[in-house]
Amino acid sequence: MKTAIYPGSFDPITNGHLDIIKRASELFDRVIVAVIKNPSKKSQFSLADRVEMIKKCVPGVIVESFDGLLVEYARQKGAKTIVRGLRAVSDFDYEFQMALTNRKMAPTIETIFLMTDYRYSYLSSSFVKQIAALGGDVSELVPAPVAKKLKKRGE
């Protein structure tokens, strides 16, 4: 059974993340979406909310939370692959650094990158939150349950 971990803060999940999850699911027997408990940046949504929104958007996919080192979590899950999305050249430095650091700690765990769909190459969770907070329409950027939640917050 080939397991891959797709980690992130998902604050909140966007259509760009969904696209990566769907495509990774075609490549692996099992994809675990792993939501980091305490992201280094301050999250707007609680861990429970972030997990719940993903579960609503991708029924059938395993969604869990994790704390501590990603490679340790991957080991516990028997996953040999970490999946990350690449949007633009600007993502590269950070992702490269993270992938090499993870490989140093866990040489048997490989990070693979899926190029984001061109429709989402500019998309980020921060922009989505900003647009929603200012009353903009995010319905084409995030799945319906997330748009609903963001709208509720703004009311």
C-alpha gyration radius of the chain: 15
124 part of the interface to ligand COA, by CB under 6 A: yes
User: How many whole angstroms separate alpha carbon 51 and alpha carbon 66?
Assistant: 11
Q: Is 75 a catalytic residue?
A: no
11 part of the interface to ligand COA, by CB under 6 A: yes
62 part of the interface to ligand COA, by CB under 6 A: no
120 part of the interface to ligand COA, by CB under 6 A: yes
Among 101, 115, 119, 154, binds ligand COA (CB under 6 A): 101
Stretch that binds ligand COA, among 15-23, 47-55, 130-138, 145-153 (CB under 6 A): 15-23
Burial class (CB in 10 A: 0-12, 13-18, 19+), 97: exposed
8 part of the interface to ligand COA, by CB under 6 A: yes
Cross-strand bridge partners of residue 110: 81
Q: Is 22 a catalytic residue?
A: no
What does the DSSP assignment read for 98-155? HHHHHHHH-TTPEEEEEEPPGGGTT--HHHHHHHHHTT---TTTS-HHHHHHHHHHH-
Applying CB under 6 A, the residues found at the interface with ligand COA are 7-11, 14, 16-17, 20, 36, 39, 69-70, 85, 87, 98, 101-102, 116, 120, 123-126
List residues with catalytic annotation.
17, 41, 87, 125
